[in-house]
Amino acid sequence: MKRGFSLAEIMIVVTVIAILAVFALLSFQKQTIRGYDSKRKADLATLKVLFEDYYNDHTCYPTKGQWDLYDCITKANGDFLKPYLGGKDIPCDPVTNTRYLYMTINDKTEQPCGGYRAFSQLRDTSDGNIKDAGCDPDPNKGCGYAPYSFNYGIAMGGEVANPEFDFDNPPPTPTPTPPTPPGEIFCLGDPNPEHACNTKAGLVAGDGQSCSEALQALGCISFNDGQICNTYCQNNYAAYKCQETTSLQCFIP
């Protein structure tokens, strides 16, 4: 007499297999996240060596303007570090393929010789290196610099985390400014300072704040990525479309 499996037995086996598959997937995803985070930390360690090599030749670190012009997609405008790269490219985020956040620590001469800070966003918020750097895994705090999602960094000439940032009472999350009706122009990369930030496009930069910084406060990395528009901004802020001209223009159609 032949005996098969009952429906209950089959359901139990299927359920066990499904649970094991979910655990395996979660474990794989976690290891993938940690792998990318390890690459981010290694990239910042590489940049630290590159910046010191640059400093040895120029007695100053690269300016923020030099850094912000580098295009991770086309690899354009990276000549300032080319002599120290050994034929390789300037490292960028392994997932978003965007630049790491970089800023200088100015000394009394207002030159980028006093030091620098460079940041990345680790996706594994339980990583102990976040707190070791003086930062916070909370995306509303990070290392104390907007965008606050950057929660890990390196520094020379100062602390990694913003010493003036109140980590106990972070500022409220800003509400993004809604885009204005179609037809207004938004230009970034235009050498004319009067066109640096066209408020008619719905973005208002504060005193001493650049357009790029204002965009960062909205969650964008930057519109000004060499000669192409940043794909993150274009994908997530569909009201802004981009075109290539002699000077980069981003506009609302």
Please give the single-letter amino acid code of residue 108.
Answer: K
The whole-number pLDDT of residue 218 equals 54
> How would you write the pLDDT of the chain (253 residues) with one tens digit per residue?
556 677 787 888 888 888 888 878 777 778 888 999 999 999 999 999 999 999 999 999 999 989 999 999 999 999 999 999 999 999 999 988 999 999 988 755 555 688 999 999 999 999 999 999 999 999 889 999 988 889 999 999 889 999 999 998 887 766 655 543 333 334 444 444 444 444 334 455 555 555 556 555 555 544 443 333 444 444 444 444 443 333 334 433 3
Phi, psi for 212 (deg, rounded to 5): -60, -40
Residues 113 and 107: their CA atoms lie apart, in Å, by: 7
What is the SS3 string spanning 95-142? CCCCCCEEEECCCCCCCCCCCEEEEECCCCCCCHHHHHCCCCCCCCCC
Cβ proximity of 138 and 51 under 8 Å: no
Domains, the chain: 31-156 (3.30.700), 185-251 (no CATH)
- Tokens 């506009």 map to which residue? 251
